[in-house]
């Protein structure tokens, strides 16, 4: 239907309330459909189903995380406007040239048309003087038919000349006469050289000297330079192209003067190409062509806009995918140290027997977890800044302490910041092209101004004296040539010059602002990811508790494994160095004034020494531990007493309580 087409191809600002309500309804239906797929109770009311409500709440977070795809119409629209100015300038210039050609044609043919009109008006007075004209034309016939000036031609050639037109015949005769004159000039030139040579020999009596001095008089070949004039005779003979046709017509007219005389005038404009084409029609054709191209481009942009409007569906799909992964995979995005995580740790610390706790986390564990309350971007979130959101994403920390992606469909994702490069490059290219076109069109406007000045004037007056019949005939015919005209036309192409529009700094800023916001959202999407996890935890509190409990127990197991691994490493190092003291430890022990420059580090985690660090009680051992690591090792230094470990032959830990997990 027509109203559906108007609605589908409407501008973004049209039908605003209808589009909002329709989008909200379709979004709600999609959420209901998804809830019916993922929940076993499809008839449950909306308020009791957390799935669709969670998906709807996750959509803004997912949208903020992705940042969208901004369309910068400023440079593109300005470039299109400048190209439209070029098209207008070209059409205007063509129209101006056609108008000038028309005026020049009218001015150049105005005297001839006036003469023809006068001859038509005076045609009635010529019938009484036809005989004198016929007698006067006889001399012209004799001149045209004359063979004087080029010699007698053979009879066969004379027969071929009769078959030629008057124009060709007269041109051939004229060329032959021209060649005849040139040949005569060459002969006279050679005769002149001969006479001068003989005179020179007669003047100089010495034989050898006379021949040498008179040698220039033998240069008769210089006379052949006149052959160059043959080209002029062939190409530039002053014979009018219409002479033969005019002669034949006049000859026929003179022959029929005794019978009747009539004159008619027919005006045609086909001789000038484009003269019968109005400038309005030309401008209309150009405008119609440009309008068709613009309509096609607008249709393509509308289709692209409709497709882009459908990208919001992918945001809901992303929210659905996150919700499904959140509920199905307990390791998915499970690396947040939440309030419930702290409560578990505090409860274990308050229990009888002081069970092992995780907080504060060790240095090796910090890169693998996220603290939602901290404003700074944490190491575990840096990967999400540069990698695109997927169905499952892992954030492994140092020594693999963080959860990783266990989804078999987890594929390598595109770089999100690299995904911003194509629109950035497109914006830079559009701005550069717009600036280049603006500079070119500005140069054309400032240096292509042309002022046309067309002046035409002529005055032709033929005076025929006498009172004879021939004089009267000439006054009746040739007197029509008495014309005069004057025309002054001045115009400029100022209205045809392009008027380019250059973008201001504010327009460039507005055009690049969406991409700047996109890059900023890419950098700040970690907070949207935190919000996404918080929304899912709000709608699925039991699932969130299970996930936090799983993370706590997993980190507890990893803590024990890490301590055992580090303990073995310390024991191996101590056994390799039995009886050997490093130089730095000796300097630290024997030179107290160097201790401020020699900072020791924790043997277990590598943190620099602080006031709260615990040094080994043995006087001969300079090993230092941080307070948490000292407690993890059971307040035993395995660097100076490796025999107490007993860990190299088996996997059990001596002196350590069994692992008690949180519940």
Task: Give DSSP secondary structure letters for 593-631.
Answer: GGTTTS--BBTTT-PBP-TT-EE-SSTT---EE-HHHHH
Q: Which residue has the tokens 């809901």?
A: 316
pLDDT tens, position by position, 358-396:
888 888 788 888 999 888 888 887 765 444 443 333 333
Predicted local distance difference test score (pLDDT) of residue 330: 92
pLDDT above 90: percentage of residues in the chain: 5
Q: Which residue has the tokens 């490493």?
A: 569
CA dihedral of residues 434, 437, 440, 442 (deg, nearest 10): -60
What φ, ψ does residue 485 adopt, rounded to 5°?
A: -155, 160
Token pair listed for 143 = 């001149």
pLDDT band at 509 (very low <50, low <70, confident <90, very high): confident
Ranges 89-103, 217-231, 632-646: which has the least confidence: 632-646
Token pair listed for 238 = 């002053």
For residue 69, count CB atoms less than 10 angstroms from its CB and return exposed for 0-12, middle for 13-18, buried for 19 or more. Answer: middle
pTM for the full model? Answer: 0.48
pLDDT tens, position by position, 95-153:
888 888 888 888 777 777 777 777 776 665 665 566 666 766 777 777 777 777 665 55
Predicted local distance difference test score (pLDDT) of residue 553: 92
Does 5 or 645 have the greater pLDDT score?
5
Predicted local distance difference test score (pLDDT) of residue 49: 40
Q: How far apart are CA 153 and CA 149, in angstroms?
A: 11
Q: How far apart are CA 347 and CA 42, in angstroms?
A: 39
3-class state of residue 372 by DSSP: coil
Q: How far apart are CA 341 and CA 332, in angstroms?
A: 17
Query: Average pLDDT in the 619-638 region?
Result: 77
Nearest to 78 by CA among 501, 423, 427, 440: 501
Whether the per-residue pLDDT at 622 is higher than 50: the answer is yes
pLDDT tens, position by position, 454-508:
777 777 777 877 776 567 767 777 776 777 777 787 888 888 888 888 888 888 8
345-348-352 Cα angle (round to 5): 160
Q: Which residue has the tokens 């299109």?
A: 80
Whether the per-residue pLDDT at 549 is higher than 90: the answer is yes
Instruction: State the number of CA atoms in the 13 A half-sphere of 43 facing the CB.
Output: 0
CA distances from 592 to 276, 580, 596 (A): 109, 20, 8
Q: Break the chain into its structural domains and give their ranges.
A: 130-255
Does 259 or 350 have the greater pLDDT score?
350
3-class state of residue 274 by DSSP: coil
Helices 130-145 and 469-477: crossing angle, nearest 10°? 80
Average of per-residue pLDDT values in the chain: 72
Total residues belonging to the chain: 663
Token pair listed for 364 = 């090796």
Whether the per-residue pLDDT at 234 is higher than 70: the answer is yes
CA distances from 637 to 575, 600, 643 (A): 13, 15, 11
Whether the per-residue pLDDT at 438 is higher than 70: the answer is yes
Q: Which residues pair with 487 in a beta bridge?
A: 456
pLDDT band at 595 (very low <50, low <70, confident <90, very high): low
- Dihedral class, residue 457 (left if φ above 0, else alpha if ψ from -120 to 50, else beta): beta
What letter would DSSP give residue 656?
-
Contact 413, 388 (CB under 8 A): yes
Q: How far apart are CA 84 and CA 196, in angstroms?
A: 77
Nearest to 398 by CA among 548, 558, 225: 558
Return the H-helix or E-strand segment holding 489: strand 483-492
Q: How far apart are CA 474 and CA 480, in angstroms?
A: 9
Q: Which residue has the tokens 């008089």?
A: 217
Instruction: State the number of CA atoms in the 13 A half-sphere of 145 facing the CB.
Output: 9
Q: How far apart are CA 554 and CA 407, in angstroms?
A: 18
Predicted local distance difference test score (pLDDT) of residue 590: 64
Q: How far apart are CA 33 and CA 30, in angstroms?
A: 5
């Amino acid at each position: 239907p027509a109203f559906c087409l108007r609605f589908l191809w409407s501008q973004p600002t049209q039908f605003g309330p209808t589009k909002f309500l329709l989008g909200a309804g379709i979004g709600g239906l999609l959420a209901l459909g998804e809830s019916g797929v993922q929940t076993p109770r499809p008839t449950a009311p909306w308020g009791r189903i957390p799935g669709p409500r969670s998906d709807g709440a996750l959509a803004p977070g997912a949208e903020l995380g992705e940042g969208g795809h901004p369309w910068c119409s400023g440079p593109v629209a300005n470039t299109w406007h400048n190209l439209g100015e070029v098209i207008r300038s070209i059409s205007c210039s063509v129209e101006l040239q056609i108008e000038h050609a028309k005026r020049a044609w009218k001015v150049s043919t105005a005297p001839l048309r006036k003469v023809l009109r006068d001859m038509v008006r005076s045609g009635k007075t010529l019938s009484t003087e036809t005989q004198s004209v016929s007698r006067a034309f006889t001399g012209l016939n004799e001149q045209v038919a004359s063979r004087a000036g080029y010699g007698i031609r053979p009879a066969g050639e004379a027969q071929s000349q009769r078959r030629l037109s008057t124009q060709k015949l007269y041109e051939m005769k004229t060329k032959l006469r021209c060649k005849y004159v040139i040949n005569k000039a060459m002969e006279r030139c050679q005769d002149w050289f001969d006479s001068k040579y003989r005179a020179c020999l007669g003047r100089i009596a010495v034989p050898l000297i006379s021949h040498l001095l008179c040698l220039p008089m033998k240069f008769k070949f210089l006379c052949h330079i006149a052959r160059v004039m043959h080209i002029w005779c062939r190409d530039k003979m002053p014979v009018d192209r219409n002479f033969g046709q005019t002669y034949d017509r006049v000859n026929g007219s003179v022959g029929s003067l005794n019978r009747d005389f009539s004159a008619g005038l027919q005006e045609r404009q086909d001789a000038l190409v484009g003269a019968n084409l109005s400038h309005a029609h030309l401008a209309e054709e150009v405008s119609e062509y440009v309008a068709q191209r613009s309509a096609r481009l607008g249709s393509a942009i509308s289709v692209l806009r409709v497709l882009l409007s459908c990208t919001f569906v992918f945001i809901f799909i992303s929210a659905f995918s996150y919700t499904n992964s959140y509920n199905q995979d307990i390791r998915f995005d499970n690396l947040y140290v939440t309030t419930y995580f702290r409560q578990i740790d505090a409860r274990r610390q308050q229990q009888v027997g002081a069970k092992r706790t995780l907080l504060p986390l060790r240095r090796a564990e910090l890169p693998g977890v996220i603290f939602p309350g901290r404003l700074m971007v944490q190491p575990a979130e840096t990967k999400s800044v540069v990698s695109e959101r997927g169905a499952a994403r892992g954030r492994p920390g140092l020594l693999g302490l963080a959860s990783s992606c266990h989804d078999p469909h987890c594929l390598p994702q595109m770089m999100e910041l690299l995904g911003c490069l194509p629109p950035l490059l497109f914006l830079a290219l559009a701005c550069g092209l717009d600036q280049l076109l603006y500079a070119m069109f500005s140069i054309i406007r400032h240096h292509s101004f042309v002022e046309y000045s067309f002046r035409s004037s002529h005055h032709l007056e033929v005076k025929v004296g006498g009172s004879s019949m021939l004089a009267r005939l000439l006054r009746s015919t040739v007197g029509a040539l008495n014309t005069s005209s004057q025309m002054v036309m001045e115009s400029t192409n100022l209205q045809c010059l392009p008027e380019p529009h250059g973008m201001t700094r504010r327009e460039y800023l507005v055009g690049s602002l969406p991409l700047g916001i996109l890059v900023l959202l890419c950098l700040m999407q970690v907070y949207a990811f935190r919000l996404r996890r918080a929304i899912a935890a709000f709608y699925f509190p039991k699932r969130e508790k299970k996930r936090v409990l799983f993370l706590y127990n997993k980190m507890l197991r990893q803590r024990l494994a890490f301590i055992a691994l580090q303990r073995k490493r310390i024991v191996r190092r101590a056994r390799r160095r039995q009886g050997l003291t490093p130089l730095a430890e000796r300097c630290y022990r024997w030179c107290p004034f160097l201790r401020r420059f020699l900072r020791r580090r924790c043997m277990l985690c590598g943190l620099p020494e602080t006031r709260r660090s615990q040094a080994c009680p043995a006087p001969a051992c300079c090993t230092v531990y941080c307070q948490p690591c000292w407690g993890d090792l059971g307040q035993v230094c395995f660097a100076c007493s490796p025999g107490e470990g007993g860990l190299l032959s088996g996997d059990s830990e001596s002196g350590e309580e069994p692992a008690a997990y949180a519940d």
